[in-house]
Amino acid sequence: MKKVFVGLSGGVDSAVSAALLQKDGYDVTGVFIKAWTPEGYPCSWKEDRRSAMRAAAILDIPFITLDLEKEYKKEVVDYMIAEYKIGRTPNPDVMCNKEIKFGYFLKFALKNGADFVATGHYCQTSPPTRSKTKSRIAETPLSLIRRGGQGDEVLLLEGKDKNKDQSYFLWTLTQDQLKRILFPIGHLQKSEVRKLAGKFGLPQKTRKDSQGLCFLGKIDMKEFLSHYLPQKRGEVLNIEGESIGHHNGSLFFTIGERHGFTITNKTTQGSPVYVVSKDIAKNTITVASKITTHQKSQGEPLTLIGLNWILEEPNLSKKYLCRIRYRQEKIECKIKMEGKKIKVIFDEAQVAVSSGQSLVLYDGEICLGGGIMNL
């Protein structure tokens, strides 16, 4: 019997993951990760923990609470604040997966005798198949998905439910990590997961999905950041450089945003405008009614930093697919080397490209890895 520590969040996805693994004969232990909660915000972790404990009790599996409050504050929250401070828009969920779920949690599990960790992410893993990858992936059975940890190289694949696929947030994973990770529900649709919860007698069947940031939930980002970054009144400019309004700090905005600033110019009031650029040094943001016309980086290659390739570096002569934001339709691109820098070139100009966000590269349904866009 292989021993697996399942990250029980209190939700239906992780509860069903634990149930499926138990059904398949794994020695399952449920682990609730306690993260940091900002002072003055609703404390949801206690209710989440109670829900996770109920799932563990019904399945009759051991239950552990892993306190990673300090680690989460340092690796996720402090990182997020530091990125906003220099004018970038970070992906805290990417960092949460990298440092917390598959960093500290994985290390804790292996140190305490586990062979694997498992989570309720909607993605899959499989050994590579060089020739007929696409057809093989489409028919990947659960037994093949779980072959990690046996010395084979492992592919990270999109989840079957394309509306829930979370591979975008997992591009930082390495081979060593993937060989120790199980994604038991990656081959299922969300509707199937809820049905299975009912069959297993899990009360999470009707529990609402969590929303917002990893562990923190749905928060007003500008309000949250205002506790850590100083607000400073600045000008809203049009594309001609004329002042048409004001805001409380360029640090708080991301490209493509259309709320949070005030337009005082009567000719512009009433029409939707979008942030197309920002100047941190001058504390200004520039807005336009058509973001597709005025995106600063349109048509220009994007530079990536903090690169991670899950299996191997991409082929520079081949076209790939990529996402520059979660749930975006994949778009065609090519990879180019300029010295030691990686640049991404698109067939069509992209809009609302935000420095600090993740660009994730795909070969069909295979997630190859990615990097942080640095404009």
Catalytic residue IDs: 96, 214
Cβ neighbours for 14, distance < 8 A, ≥ 6 positions apart: 6, 7, 8, 52, 55, 119, 120
If residue 133 lies in a helix (H) or strand (E), which one and from where to where? helix 133-138
Cα–Cα distance for residue pair 107/86, rounded to 1 Å = 31
Contact present, 364 and 140 (Cβ < 8 Å): no
Structure tokens at 108: 């804790």
Structure tokens at 328: 């975006």
Beta bridge partners of 4: 28, 116
Task: Compute the distance between CA of residue 21 and CA of residue 277 in angstroms, rounded to an integer.
Answer: 48
DSSP letter for each residue of 157-206: EE-S-TTT--GGGGTT--HHHHTTEE-TTTTS-HHHHHHHHHHTT-GGGG
Distance CA(280)–CA(128), nearest Å, equals 44
Can you spell out the DSSP letters for 91-107?
-HHHHIIIIIIIIIHHH
Which of 275, 226, 202, 255 lies closest to 8 in space, CA to CA?
Answer: 202
Give strand ranges (E) for the chain: 3-7, 27-34, 63-67, 116-118, 123-126, 155-158, 181-182, 234-237, 243-247, 262-263, 274-279, 284-288, 302-309, 319-323, 331-338, 341-346, 358-363, 366-373
Residue 305, Cβ neighbours under 10 Å: how many?
12
Cα–Cα dist 139/126, whole Å: 11
CA-wise closest residue to 230 among 255, 257, 248: 248
Helix axes 190-199 and 12-23, enclosed angle (nearest 10): 60
Question: Tokens in use for 220?
Answer: 């007003």
Q: Residue 299 is which amino acid?
A: G
